[in-house]
Amino acid sequence: MKVLVINCGSSSLKFQLIDSESESCLAKGLCERIGIEGSMITYAPEGGEKEKNVTPMPDHTEAIRLVLEALTNSKTGVVKSLDEIGAVGHRVVHGGEKFAQSVVIDDEVMKAIEECNDLAPLHNPANLIGINACKALMPKTPMVAVFDTAFHQTMPEEAYMYGLPYEYYKKYKIRRYGFHGTSHSYVSKRASEVLGMSYENLKIVVCHLGNGASVSAVKHGRCVDTSMGLTPLQGLIMGTRSGDIDPAIIEFLAHKENKSIDEIMAVLNKKSGVLGLSDNLSSDFRDLEEGYHKGDENAIRAMKTFCYNVAKYIGAYAAAMNGVDVICFTAGVGENAALVRTFICEYLGYLGVKIDQEANGKRGEDTVISTIDSKTTVMVIPTNEELAIARETVKLL
Ligand code: ADP
């Protein structure tokens, strides 16, 4: 079956068409600036040239229409007609406590996703718009929702509760949910396959380090803790997000800088993380690595603080699982930044971690980067959230 995977943001839409039998990506692309002047679509068929077209996209329905047109185009398209697309898998950010698994989308599911809008006001409404736009253009094609939060629903109460009045949990469902679940699930399973070991017997820490970053503890195939919380702002220091801070800082800064709560939240989401720590040098680890090698003190501070922070979470999750067998690095930074992996692993001598620097220099493939005598296995596993969504979609249908 050919599955169209859609990841819809408020002004962007990423897509991939995946052949579920061969698990290959037939075409992929991105619509940007939807509803804004200068919208453009990037489209790349497998093995073909990438093309970029600036074209008006007043809304998501028009964006999806252009995607479907590109996929069926007589020259660069990869299917003859839309009938060849057997299903659509949608990434949905927040499934609250309602969804511990992916689901086939029907009216009831749409309502339930909408009820989670409060918990992810920037993401869920955009996801729903994407689903509605697809339904309008492909009314007979079955659709599946795959939630970022679902994999983390197995966390025990002591891992997901905050030390707040319990009434806020009862009234508003304030608790840790966690995100990047599709990636944490895919990477941890893949690690066990690559090692040829049973998923149900392993204790795995997954470090998903991208622009957004999170760590999770996967014990015997179930997530038992994760670093992001009610929202994706909690946990690790990220590209531009602060991660964990003393909550009192918000009030302190609001007074000192004469800013509203909304303005402070924008600082925490967009101007903090390694961008803020590096005194605005960059949120991109390619720039930070370069700066580090040149001895730039802003780059050094950002790199060191980021890596120390990840190492502390690994320690916490080793404690949560009473040990750890495998540590996996994934996503843009985790897969590519060898220096970041080296710095993090320097803190892990107590877990018997020893890194093979030659293996650590490889890119783009599933690799064990620890030495044979390392007590804990350390791996790089490239994540593939689109493939995971396509697999879930096929499984449900
Ligand atoms: P997201 O999906 O959260 O937007 P990604 O997982 O794509 O993020 O990661 C993007 C980040 O990965 C970039 O901002 C950059 O910091 C980092 N990155 C990408 N390529 C490299 C590289 N070759 N070396 C170091 N860091 C890299």
Which residue in 148, 225, 296, 325 is the catalytic one? Answer: 148
**Annotated domain spans of the chain:** 2-147, 197-380
pTM of the model: 0.95
Beta bridge partners of 370: 355
Atom of ligand 1 nearest to the CA of 208: 6
Cβ–ligand 1 distance for 207 under 6 Å, the answer no
Query: Domain 2-147 class?
Result: alpha beta
Q: Which of 285, 330, 340, 343 to mutate to test the pocket of ligand 1 (most atoms within 8 A of CB)?
A: 285
Give the per-residue pLDDT at 118: 87
The Cα–Cα gap between 218 and 306 comes to: 22
Which of 182, 178, 180, 187 lies closest to 335 in space, CA to CA? 187
Same fold, 2-147 and 197-380: yes
Cβ–ligand 1 distance for 337 under 6 Å, the answer yes
Ranges of residues in the chain with a pLDDT under 70 are none
pLDDT tens readout for residues 178-213: 999 999 999 999 999 999 999 999 999 999 999 999
Atom of ligand 1 nearest to the CA of 211: 3
- Cβ 385 vs Cβ 377: under 8 Å: no
For residue 71, CA distances in Å to 3, 28, 43, 68, 79 come to: 12, 9, 9, 5, 6
CB atoms inside a 10 Å sphere around CB 52: 12
Cβ–ligand 1 distance for 239 under 6 Å, the answer yes
The Cα–Cα gap between 119 and 202 comes to: 32
Beta bridge partners of 217: 205, 225
Give the Cα-Cα-Cα angle 173, 179, 185 (nearest 5 degrees). 120
Give the per-residue pLDDT at 121: 85
Q: Which of 12, 186, 208, 211 to mutate to test the pocket of ligand 1 (most atoms within 8 A of CB)?
A: 211
- Cβ 216 vs Cβ 223: under 8 Å: yes
Cβ–ligand 1 distance for 232 under 6 Å, the answer no
Give the per-residue pLDDT at 224: 98
Architecture, CATH, for domain 197-380:
2-Layer Sandwich (3.30)
Cβ–ligand 1 distance for 292 under 6 Å, the answer no
For residue 351, CA distances in Å to 2, 275, 314, 329, 377 come to: 44, 31, 10, 16, 10
Three-class SS string for 99-155?
CCCCEECCHHHHHHHHHCHHHCCCCHHHHHHHHHHHHHHCCCCCEEEEECCHHHHHC
Q: Active site includes 284?
A: no
- Cβ 143 vs Cβ 88: under 8 Å: yes
